[in-house]
Amino acid sequence: MWSDAIENLKKLNVTDQEVAEVVKLKQAGLQDDTCVELVNEAHLHKHFFNSAESVRNLIGAGFSEPEVLEIAKADKLDSISGDAVTIKLIGLSDATVQLILRRELKGQPTLSSDEIAKLKNTGLTERQIVERIQSGMTDAQAEKEVKAHQRDLTHSGFVRIHGRIPH
């Protein structure tokens, strides 16, 4: 770290545990300013910074440092990092991932990453999933839609034969 970043951390009265967390951030390749800002955000929210693993997971999934800082400013690094990483890995576009995260950061209803993945596996397009999210679909409603889709597949007119066919 550059000396000015170290001085900024000293001004924040970082603990030994926070220093260890900052080391993890630096090992993940984060810039000095981002590290200082993440610690500062935690202190502004009246707690120590202990979210290096969440930050590393977000960065590893392709989130940018400004996106991670936005999540930190909402004090939700640990609470939504798992869902955020999963949503990113589902294969949705960056715009859709951002839409979902912004809704979650604002406290607006959105589907969990599990339900989004299930909907995508039923063959829904990304646009159809976004429409459901924007309409306020709940996880319970999504689960019903997934089950209905699965039921439709099992009643598609095809008959599955189990066992051997007699000759």
Q: What is the pTM of this model?
A: 0.76
Q: Write out pLDDT tens, residues 65-119.
A: 999 999 999 999 998 888 888 988 888 998 999 899 889 888 888 999 999 999 9
Q: How far is CA 33 from CA 73, 157, 164, in A?
A: 15, 61, 67
**Extents of the domains making up the chain:** 1-94, 109-156
**Residues 145, 111 contacting (CB under 8 angstroms):** no
Q: What angle do CA 22, 25, 29 make, to 5 degrees?
A: 135
How crowded is the C-beta side of 39, counted as CA atoms within 13 Å?
27
**Which CB contacts under 8 angstroms, 24+ apart, belong to 59-65?**
59/28, 59/29, 59/30, 60/28, 60/85, 61/85, 61/88, 61/89, 62/88, 63/88, 65/30, 65/31, 65/34
**Residues 13, 4 contacting (CB under 8 angstroms):** no
Side chain identity at 22, as an amino acid letter?
V
Q: Write out pLDDT tens, residues 7-62.
A: 888 899 999 999 999 999 999 999 999 999 999 999 999 999 999 999 999 998 88
Residue 32, token pair as written in the block: 């000095």
